[in-house]
Amino acid sequence: MKKETKKRDEDSKLFAFLATFLSIVGFIIALIAKKNNKYVMHYAKQSLVIFIIFIISAAIKVIPFIGKVASVIVYVIAFIFWLFSWIYALSGKMKEIPFVSQYSEKINL
């Protein structure tokens, strides 16, 4: 029984990592393959929010003058969140990424 539980935990970590690493594609994979896995969906939702932050970063680039600077700042912040999501997904514990988690928890799937 313990071996089966360990295998399930490793499987969850793998899918959580894929959800974070592959961003929107990983979110879709997690949604299709592991929708009922609370651990995987926790990180998949965070991945979706981080993807949206990257989109916002690209969108604010069109604002004259300040847009390019703000875009770079938002992009760097999103990249840091993305790296944290990888580490947290592989940790085996459901950890919250600051700012990102408050929005990801509102997503109901």
* Closest by Cα among 92, 101, 102, 98 to 9: 92
Query: pLDDT digit string (tens) for 49-85?
Result: 999 999 999 999 999 889 999 999 999 999 999 999 9
Query: pLDDT digit string (tens) for 24-52?
Result: 999 999 999 999 999 999 999 999 999 99
Cα dist from 43 to 2, 73, 105, whole Å:
24, 23, 10
Kindly report the pTM of this predicted structure: 0.89
